[in-house]
Amino acid sequence: MTESECPVPAQAASPAGRVRLLSAGVLAVLLAVVAPTYGGVTENRAAAAVPSLAAPTASGQWSLAAVKPVGQRWQPDFNGHDADVFQTYSAGDATVDFYFAFYRQQREGAEVVSTKNSLVDDVIWKRAGSGNAAAMVDGVSVTADMTRILSRAHGRVVWSWYWVDDRYTANPYVAKLLELKVRLLGGNPAAGIFVIATDYVDTPREAVPVLEAFLASISPITVIGPALPSEGDGEPTLQANSAETEMDG
Protein backbone atom coordinates (compact mmCIF):
# COMPACT_ATOMS: atom_id res chain seq x y z
CA MET A 1 0.00 0.00 0.00
CA THR A 2 1.43 3.35 -0.98
CA GLU A 3 1.53 6.46 1.15
CA SER A 4 -1.37 7.90 -0.89
CA GLU A 5 -3.60 5.05 0.32
CA CYS A 6 -2.35 5.21 3.90
CA PRO A 7 -5.17 4.25 6.32
CA VAL A 8 -6.66 6.93 8.51
CA PRO A 9 -5.13 6.63 12.01
CA ALA A 10 -7.15 4.63 14.52
CA GLN A 11 -8.11 7.74 16.45
CA ALA A 12 -9.69 9.13 13.27
CA ALA A 13 -12.11 6.27 12.67
CA SER A 14 -15.80 7.16 12.84
CA PRO A 15 -18.09 6.71 15.87
CA ALA A 16 -21.65 7.60 15.24
CA GLY A 17 -24.67 7.23 12.43
CA ARG A 18 -23.99 9.91 9.90
CA VAL A 19 -21.64 10.74 7.10
CA ARG A 20 -20.67 14.35 6.85
CA LEU A 21 -18.61 16.77 4.83
CA LEU A 22 -17.05 19.50 6.92
CA SER A 23 -16.60 23.07 5.73
CA ALA A 24 -13.31 25.02 5.47
CA GLY A 25 -12.01 22.65 2.81
CA VAL A 26 -12.31 19.60 5.05
CA LEU A 27 -14.24 16.45 4.23
CA ALA A 28 -15.20 14.21 7.17
CA VAL A 29 -17.18 11.02 7.51
CA LEU A 30 -18.99 9.84 10.62
CA LEU A 31 -21.15 6.77 11.03
CA ALA A 32 -23.41 6.18 14.06
CA VAL A 33 -24.18 2.95 15.86
CA VAL A 34 -27.95 2.58 15.58
CA ALA A 35 -28.36 -1.10 14.67
CA PRO A 36 -27.39 -4.15 16.78
CA THR A 37 -23.82 -5.36 16.88
CA TYR A 38 -22.23 -6.18 13.51
CA GLY A 39 -21.78 -9.86 14.36
CA GLY A 40 -25.53 -10.26 14.77
CA VAL A 41 -26.58 -8.41 11.62
CA THR A 42 -27.31 -10.57 8.60
CA GLU A 43 -27.00 -9.45 5.00
CA ASN A 44 -30.79 -9.66 4.65
CA ARG A 45 -31.23 -7.31 7.56
CA ALA A 46 -28.67 -4.91 6.09
CA ALA A 47 -30.54 -4.88 2.81
CA ALA A 48 -33.94 -4.42 4.46
CA ALA A 49 -33.17 -1.37 6.62
CA VAL A 50 -32.95 1.52 4.18
CA PRO A 51 -31.47 4.87 5.26
CA SER A 52 -31.92 8.15 3.42
CA LEU A 53 -29.44 10.93 2.73
CA ALA A 54 -29.77 14.67 3.17
CA ALA A 55 -27.76 16.68 0.63
CA PRO A 56 -25.25 19.11 2.14
CA THR A 57 -25.99 22.80 2.10
CA ALA A 58 -23.38 25.32 0.93
CA SER A 59 -22.04 28.59 2.30
CA GLY A 60 -20.37 31.69 0.91
CA GLN A 61 -21.00 32.21 -2.79
CA TRP A 62 -22.22 28.65 -3.26
CA SER A 63 -25.91 27.75 -3.10
CA LEU A 64 -28.23 24.94 -4.07
CA ALA A 65 -29.21 24.98 -7.74
CA ALA A 66 -31.98 23.32 -9.72
CA VAL A 67 -31.24 19.67 -10.47
CA LYS A 68 -31.98 18.48 -13.99
CA PRO A 69 -34.26 15.44 -14.28
CA VAL A 70 -32.70 11.98 -14.49
CA GLY A 71 -31.95 11.25 -18.13
CA GLN A 72 -31.14 14.90 -18.85
CA ARG A 73 -28.07 15.16 -16.63
CA TRP A 74 -24.74 13.48 -16.05
CA GLN A 75 -24.85 11.14 -13.08
CA PRO A 76 -22.68 8.26 -11.84
CA ASP A 77 -24.26 4.82 -11.87
CA PHE A 78 -23.51 2.77 -8.74
CA ASN A 79 -25.53 -0.39 -8.28
CA GLY A 80 -26.90 -1.90 -5.10
CA HIS A 81 -26.41 1.11 -2.82
CA ASP A 82 -28.69 1.53 0.17
CA ALA A 83 -29.03 5.25 -0.43
CA ASP A 84 -27.59 7.92 -2.68
CA VAL A 85 -27.87 11.65 -3.15
CA PHE A 86 -27.29 13.91 -6.15
CA GLN A 87 -27.30 17.70 -5.87
CA THR A 88 -26.22 20.59 -8.08
CA TYR A 89 -24.64 23.76 -6.64
CA SER A 90 -23.74 27.08 -8.22
CA ALA A 91 -21.54 30.10 -7.54
CA GLY A 92 -21.67 32.79 -10.21
CA ASP A 93 -21.09 31.08 -13.54
CA ALA A 94 -19.65 27.93 -11.93
CA THR A 95 -21.68 24.83 -11.16
CA VAL A 96 -20.70 21.63 -9.36
CA ASP A 97 -22.56 18.34 -9.21
CA PHE A 98 -22.20 16.35 -6.00
CA TYR A 99 -22.93 12.63 -5.71
CA PHE A 100 -22.59 10.22 -2.80
CA ALA A 101 -23.63 6.55 -2.79
CA PHE A 102 -23.88 4.86 0.61
CA TYR A 103 -23.65 1.13 1.35
CA ARG A 104 -24.60 0.13 4.90
CA GLN A 105 -22.89 -3.23 4.46
CA GLN A 106 -21.24 -4.45 1.28
CA ARG A 107 -22.61 -7.76 0.05
CA GLU A 108 -23.26 -9.71 -3.14
CA GLY A 109 -24.68 -7.28 -5.72
CA ALA A 110 -24.06 -4.28 -3.46
CA GLU A 111 -20.38 -3.42 -3.63
CA VAL A 112 -18.84 0.01 -3.97
CA VAL A 113 -16.17 -1.41 -6.31
CA SER A 114 -17.84 -3.35 -9.11
CA THR A 115 -17.57 -3.64 -12.89
CA LYS A 116 -21.26 -2.70 -12.95
CA ASN A 117 -20.51 0.74 -11.49
CA SER A 118 -19.49 3.64 -13.71
CA LEU A 119 -18.89 7.39 -13.76
CA VAL A 120 -20.05 7.63 -17.40
CA ASP A 121 -22.74 6.06 -19.56
CA ASP A 122 -20.51 5.73 -22.67
CA VAL A 123 -23.43 7.06 -24.72
CA ILE A 124 -23.78 10.76 -23.95
CA TRP A 125 -20.56 10.98 -21.93
CA LYS A 126 -17.26 9.27 -22.73
CA ARG A 127 -13.92 9.10 -20.93
CA ALA A 128 -11.26 11.32 -22.48
CA GLY A 129 -8.46 11.37 -19.90
CA SER A 130 -7.51 10.42 -16.37
CA GLY A 131 -5.12 11.44 -13.62
CA ASN A 132 -5.18 12.25 -9.94
CA ALA A 133 -5.78 15.08 -7.51
CA ALA A 134 -3.62 15.30 -4.40
CA ALA A 135 -5.36 15.67 -1.07
CA MET A 136 -4.42 15.71 2.60
CA VAL A 137 -5.98 13.28 5.09
CA ASP A 138 -4.89 13.99 8.67
CA GLY A 139 -1.60 15.28 7.28
CA VAL A 140 -1.13 12.23 5.02
CA SER A 141 -1.10 12.64 1.23
CA VAL A 142 -4.08 10.87 -0.35
CA THR A 143 -4.91 10.57 -4.03
CA ALA A 144 -8.39 11.18 -5.44
CA ASP A 145 -9.14 9.85 -8.89
CA MET A 146 -9.55 12.51 -11.59
CA THR A 147 -11.42 11.68 -14.78
CA ARG A 148 -11.95 13.92 -17.80
CA ILE A 149 -15.15 13.18 -19.68
CA LEU A 150 -16.65 14.66 -22.85
CA SER A 151 -20.08 15.01 -24.38
CA ARG A 152 -20.92 16.75 -27.65
CA ALA A 153 -21.13 20.15 -26.00
CA HIS A 154 -19.17 19.88 -22.75
CA GLY A 155 -15.91 18.92 -21.15
CA ARG A 156 -16.10 17.90 -17.51
CA VAL A 157 -13.67 17.01 -14.72
CA VAL A 158 -14.75 14.42 -12.15
CA TRP A 159 -13.05 13.81 -8.79
CA SER A 160 -13.93 10.61 -6.97
CA TRP A 161 -12.71 8.51 -4.08
CA TYR A 162 -13.93 5.51 -2.08
CA TRP A 163 -14.64 5.37 1.62
CA VAL A 164 -14.22 1.83 3.01
CA ASP A 165 -13.62 0.77 6.62
CA ASP A 166 -13.17 4.43 7.64
CA ARG A 167 -10.39 4.92 5.10
CA TYR A 168 -10.18 6.91 1.87
CA THR A 169 -8.62 5.60 -1.32
CA ALA A 170 -9.08 6.11 -5.04
CA ASN A 171 -7.50 2.73 -5.73
CA PRO A 172 -10.19 0.08 -6.40
CA TYR A 173 -7.81 -2.75 -5.46
CA VAL A 174 -7.09 -1.19 -2.08
CA ALA A 175 -10.83 -0.65 -1.58
CA LYS A 176 -11.45 -4.33 -2.31
CA LEU A 177 -8.75 -5.39 0.15
CA LEU A 178 -10.34 -3.20 2.82
CA GLU A 179 -13.72 -4.81 2.07
CA LEU A 180 -12.15 -8.25 2.50
CA LYS A 181 -10.46 -7.16 5.72
CA VAL A 182 -13.83 -6.10 7.15
CA ARG A 183 -15.41 -9.41 6.20
CA LEU A 184 -12.62 -11.51 7.72
CA LEU A 185 -11.29 -9.46 10.61
CA GLY A 186 -14.03 -6.95 11.37
CA GLY A 187 -14.26 -3.20 11.04
CA ASN A 188 -16.79 -0.69 9.82
CA PRO A 189 -19.04 -2.53 7.33
CA ALA A 190 -20.31 0.69 5.75
CA ALA A 191 -18.79 2.04 2.54
CA GLY A 192 -19.37 4.80 0.03
CA ILE A 193 -18.21 6.68 -3.04
CA PHE A 194 -17.80 10.46 -3.17
CA VAL A 195 -18.01 12.16 -6.58
CA ILE A 196 -17.84 15.86 -7.46
CA ALA A 197 -17.73 17.26 -10.98
CA THR A 198 -17.69 20.54 -12.88
CA ASP A 199 -17.50 21.63 -16.51
CA TYR A 200 -14.56 23.42 -18.11
CA VAL A 201 -14.20 25.48 -21.30
CA ASP A 202 -10.57 25.43 -22.43
CA THR A 203 -8.50 23.21 -20.15
CA PRO A 204 -9.28 20.69 -17.37
CA ARG A 205 -7.12 22.69 -14.95
CA GLU A 206 -9.87 25.32 -14.89
CA ALA A 207 -11.92 22.87 -12.85
CA VAL A 208 -9.44 22.49 -9.98
CA PRO A 209 -10.04 25.80 -8.12
CA VAL A 210 -13.78 25.42 -8.67
CA LEU A 211 -13.86 22.00 -7.04
CA GLU A 212 -11.61 23.16 -4.21
CA ALA A 213 -13.81 26.17 -3.49
CA PHE A 214 -16.87 23.95 -3.49
CA LEU A 215 -15.36 21.48 -1.01
CA ALA A 216 -14.52 24.38 1.27
CA SER A 217 -18.12 25.56 1.34
CA ILE A 218 -20.33 22.55 1.97
CA SER A 219 -21.95 21.55 5.23
CA PRO A 220 -22.46 18.02 6.63
CA ILE A 221 -24.18 15.30 4.64
CA THR A 222 -26.30 13.18 6.96
CA VAL A 223 -27.36 9.54 6.83
CA ILE A 224 -30.87 9.36 8.27
CA GLY A 225 -32.07 6.01 9.59
CA PRO A 226 -30.49 2.67 10.51
CA ALA A 227 -26.71 2.34 10.28
CA LEU A 228 -24.42 -0.56 11.07
CA PRO A 229 -21.87 -0.12 13.87
CA SER A 230 -18.29 1.05 13.52
CA GLU A 231 -15.51 -0.20 15.76
CA GLY A 232 -13.58 3.08 15.88
CA ASP A 233 -14.07 6.56 17.18
CA GLY A 234 -12.97 9.91 15.85
CA GLU A 235 -13.22 11.62 12.48
CA PRO A 236 -11.32 10.96 9.24
CA THR A 237 -10.75 14.19 7.31
CA LEU A 238 -9.91 15.08 3.74
CA GLN A 239 -8.73 18.42 2.38
CA ALA A 240 -8.17 19.06 -1.32
CA ASN A 241 -4.84 20.47 -2.45
CA SER A 242 -4.70 21.65 -6.07
CA ALA A 243 -0.96 22.37 -6.01
CA GLU A 244 -0.25 18.70 -6.72
CA THR A 245 -3.02 18.02 -9.25
CA GLU A 246 -2.11 16.21 -12.45
CA MET A 247 -4.09 14.95 -15.42
CA ASP A 248 -3.23 13.16 -18.65
CA GLY A 249 -5.20 13.25 -21.87
Over residues 75-100, the mean pLDDT reads 93
CB-side neighbour CA atoms (13 Å) of 138: 19
User: Which are the contacts of 92, defined by CB distance < 8 A and separation ≥ 6?
Assistant: 61
Over residues 161-187, the mean pLDDT reads 92
What is the maximal distance between C-alpha atoms in the chain? 54
- For 39, 84, 158, the CA distances from 35, given in Å and listed in that order, are 11, 20, 34
Q: What is the spatial distance between Cα 185 and Cα 118, in angstroms, rounded to a whole number?
A: 29
With 0.85 as the threshold, say if the pTM is over it. no
Top pLDDT among 227 and 74 is at 74
The whole-number pLDDT of residue 155 equals 93
Over residues 102-125, the mean pLDDT reads 90
Over residues 147-158, the mean pLDDT reads 91
Strand partners, 112: none
Over residues 153-176, the mean pLDDT reads 91
**Reported confidence tier of residue 18, pLDDT bands at 50, 70, 90:** very low
DSSP string, the chain: --GGGPPPPGGGS--SS-----STTEEE------SS-GGG--HHHHHHS--EEEPPPB-TT-EEEPPPPTTSS---B-TT-SEEEEEEEEETTEEEEEEEEEESS-BTTB-SS-TT-BS--SSS-EEEEEEEEEEEETTEEEEEEEEEEE-SS-EEEEEEEEEETTEEES-HHHHHHHHHHHHHH-----EEEEEEEEEESS-GGGHHHHHHHHHTTB---EEES-----S--S--EEEE-GGG-EE--
The whole-number pLDDT of residue 35 equals 30
184-232: per-residue pLDDT in tens?
999 999 999 989 999 999 999 999 899 888 877 877 666 665 554 444 4
**Reported confidence tier of residue 12, pLDDT bands at 50, 70, 90:** very low
Q: What is the mean pLDDT of the chain?
A: 73
Of 146-155, 160-169, 209-218, 234-243, the one with minimum mean pLDDT is 234-243
The whole-number pLDDT of residue 153 equals 77
φ/ψ of residue 23, rounded to 5: -75, -170
